[in-house]
A and B are shown apart, each in its own frame.
Chain A
Amino acid sequence: MAFKKALIELGLEREEAVIVSGIGCHGKMINYVNVNGFHGIHGRVLPIAQGIKLANPKLTVVGFAGDADQYNEGWSHLAHAVRRNINMTLIVHNNMVLGLTTGQATSTSQPGFKSKSTPFGVIPPMLNPSAHALVSNGTFVARGFSGDMLHLKSLIVEAIKHRGFAFIDVFQPCVTFNYLNTYDWFRRRIYKLEEEGHDITDRQKALEKALEWGDRIPIGIFYKKERPIYRDNLPHVKDVNLTKLPTENIDIASTLKEMM
């Protein structure tokens, strides 16, 4: 819903947007929004989405992943996408549980969280995706909450407008399999960074905020900074849409000559 509203606010035509989704409850996304879509495999939203954007920079590419999808199966892709800074958005539906597979622990489940795969409680501490994105040189790192639709919508709008890789971790409580991190649980803890005068250009402060967990949990934009996007450093295709280039009559004579 927040995403649809964001698309409308940005005035994007359906044909200009592509959503890429992974496998999980969130993956069904492409069935609900009538824009271009690629429902890929578990964990691989980012490589697919980056491939699309590299090929056709005119498309607005938004990836939707689950927390297990991105932070278990696809964890390594996140750091690399963040540092590569291809101009796209990633939204992670973080319900702190594997939903589709009927309730096992993920890497963002809290220690002690009892699930089908952890009947005695999760042992190791949680991964911190926002902090991870910050130390991987992210240029747009934010966190949202599905219980605050308008706020989330404005984050998505900002993320899509950002020239670079924008990452939003979204708390989206799973009402079926996560008895611990419920809407209520979040509502009691969440506060908005912008209401406390957070400086989004200060990475050190942003990291401090991203590490905050417990009685108070921040949402909003942690950090935002312009940095050349990947394509800016490819002078030959900087402003080129690869899908518009000819496939026929690529003359390789000069290269053949060099091989003589």
Chain B
Amino acid sequence: MENTVALGAANALLNYDPEILNEVLRDTFKPKTAELNIKAAKQGYNYAQPHYPDDFGYQLKKTSSAGKHRIFLTGNEAVGLGAIRAGCKLYAAYPMTPATSVLHFLVHLDRTYNMIVIQVENEIAAINTVAGASYTGIRTMTATSGGGFCLMTEGIGMTGMTETNPVILLVQRPGPSTGLPTYTAQGDLRFAIHASQGEFPRIVIAPGDVEETFYKTMEAFNLAEKFQIPAIIISDKYLAESHGTAEPFDQTRTNIDRGHLTTEDKYTGEEEYKRHKITNTGISPRTMPGTKGAIVRTNADEHDERGYTTEDPTLATKMTDKRFRKLEALTKELKNLETTKLYGPEEAEATILAWGSTKGAIREAMKFLSKEGTKINYLQILYLTPFPAAKVQKTLKSAKKTIVVENNKTSQLTSLIREHLLTTIDHKILKYDGRPFNPDALSQKIKEVL
């Protein structure tokens, strides 16, 4: 109850309407406990008001959006909601902080939304279960963190080869190995991009806040299914488990696009069905096993169009090319999607480049700096694979000075930029102590490099 006294006192310092806190207390507790808490808050308020009059410096005011309801949720819950809305029907996972709360969230809703949510024996089982289920034609997802993602790598390659399309959420924490298991980091970007042997197209998306997490999760499901490739959503402990508020999600903003999928009832099947048919776009029409007249065969070994194992060199080349043609088609499609976002003035003293959960701290730091008259802009990179090279290049061209902000030691984004654009970054602000950036400290660091 001391905390409630403190809240009441804080309310007095901020000169905020005590009735608002009372409402929250009534919302939170059972009536009896609520009344006791309201009393406690009042005591704090009444003590602080005469003792610290008017010298606090900050005041809280009701905003114009008061009365309008916003939603309050974590990044992991936003992924869960995005998955449900995207029509995900099966979620399989093994607990690992900080990804576990997706399992907790979804399992409470599986009966409402007719999903199967299952805790399996390990992450190897998880990735293979969602791959198998994906083969039947439903949308599936799994989530894990570093160690679990290590176990999934072979399975991810199998999804590349079998052209199955689960969505995989990778919630980063500091490594290597068990590292700082309950803290945050961005050290797995390269790992997500390259996980598994061999070469195959994939998607790696990094949302920066709860809102983006919801919409980008839906996008991940659409693109994964349309291009029949695995999609990895990469977030981190800070985004996944911090609560944020947002406008209630607009359910109409992202449509469902199932790509070249023919459901059982619509299949006409005049010619022999070939699951891995070679086409111009590389995308083979999909139908569901169980469809009358179609044998759906897929294979983790190199295979022909029908899914039969092959060791033929010409065919092996053709099939690899076929899979990579999907990447070309995907890259084209991404031109019309929000793969980067620019914040701040067009003309700026310096340009920040970053991905993922650093967004909040960066935008806050920009506000501090702009109050002092320092103009900074910021390019948030949402797609790491395929890399939106043209869009990043455009920003880099007009940048006077570039700064990468990242929660890792080796600045993996810098290396990606160098790889795709043959250019380097002027300054790096890196943090790898398990803690997210603090806006105040970040603005100081930015000033140091200006």
Contacts and interface: CB of A to CB of B under 8 A. Distances in A.
A176 interface: no
A209 B301 CA distance: 38
Interface stretch (B36-44, B172-180, B285-293, B332-340): B285-293
B72 A44 contact: no
B70 interface: yes
Interface in B250-294: 251, 256, 258, 263-264, 288-294
Contacts of B138: 55-56, 242-243, 245, 247
Contacts of B130: 51
A36 interface: yes
B136 A243 contact: yes
Contacts of A35: 295
A212 interface: no
B293 A15 contact: yes
A182 to B, nearest CB: 28
Contacts of A236: 110-111, 114
A156 interface: no
A236 to B, nearest CB: 4
Contacts of B307: 30, 37, 39
Interface stretch (A106-114, A142-150, A198-206, A252-260): A252-260
Interface in B103-154: 109-116, 118, 120-122, 124-140, 154
Given A31-B308, A52-B135, A59-B290, A38 B90 contact: no
Contacts of A234: 110, 116
A190 interface: no
A14 interface: yes
Contacts of B131: 40, 48, 51
A14 B92 contact: no
A79 to B, nearest CB: 8
Nearest to A35: B295
Contacts of B139: 247
A76 interface: yes
A217 interface: no
Contacts of A77: 121, 125
A192 interface: no
A39 B290 contact: no
A40 B158 contact: yes
Interface size range on A against B: 35 or more
Interface in B302-348: 303, 307-309
A143 B124 CA distance: 27
Contact of B112 (A13, A34, A54, A254): A254
B121 A255 contact: no
Contact of A242 (B116, B162, B301): B116
Contact of B114 (A13, A47, A240): A240
Contacts of A47: 120, 124-129, 132
Interface in A10-42: 13-16, 18, 20, 23, 27-28, 30-31, 34-41
B367 interface: no
B363 interface: no
Contacts of A27: 301
Contacts of A124: none
B430 interface: no
Given A39-B299, A243-B290, A50 B129 contact: yes
Interface string A151-195: 000000000000000000000000000000000000000000000
Contacts of A37: 295-299, 307
B122 A76 contact: yes
B297 A36 contact: yes
Given A48-B132, A59-B136, A255 B84 contact: yes
A52 B155 contact: no
Interface string A234-252: 1111001011111110111
A56 B122 CA distance: 22
A237 to B, nearest CB: 6
Q: Give the one of A27, A250, A251 with max B CB within 10 A.
A: A250
Interface of A: 13-16, 18, 20, 23, 27-28, 30-31, 34-41, 43-44, 46-52, 54-56, 58-59, 76-77, 80, 234-237, 240, 242-248, 250-256, 259-260
Interface of B: 69-73, 77, 81, 84-87, 89-90, 92, 109-116, 118, 120-122, 124-140, 154-155, 158, 162, 248-249, 251, 256, 258, 263-264, 288-301, 303, 307-309
26 contacts: A31-B309, A36-B290, A37-B299, A39-B309, A40-B162, A40-B300, A43-B124, A44-B128, A44-B155, A47-B129, A47-B132, A48-B128, A51-B92, A51-B131, A52-B132, A54-B133, A55-B90, A55-B116, A236-B110, A236-B111, A242-B90, A247-B87, A251-B251, A253-B251, A259-B77, A260-B71
Given A37-B298, A234-B110, 19 more contacts: A13-B292, A28-B309, A30-B299, A30-B307, A30-B309, A40-B128, A40-B162, A41-B155, A46-B125, A47-B128, A48-B129, A51-B129, A51-B134, A55-B90, A56-B138, A243-B136, A246-B87, A253-B251, A256-B71
Q: Which 9 A-B pairs have the closest CB atoms?
A: A51-B132, A247-B87, A47-B128, A48-B132, A51-B129, A51-B133, A55-B133, A36-B289, A55-B136
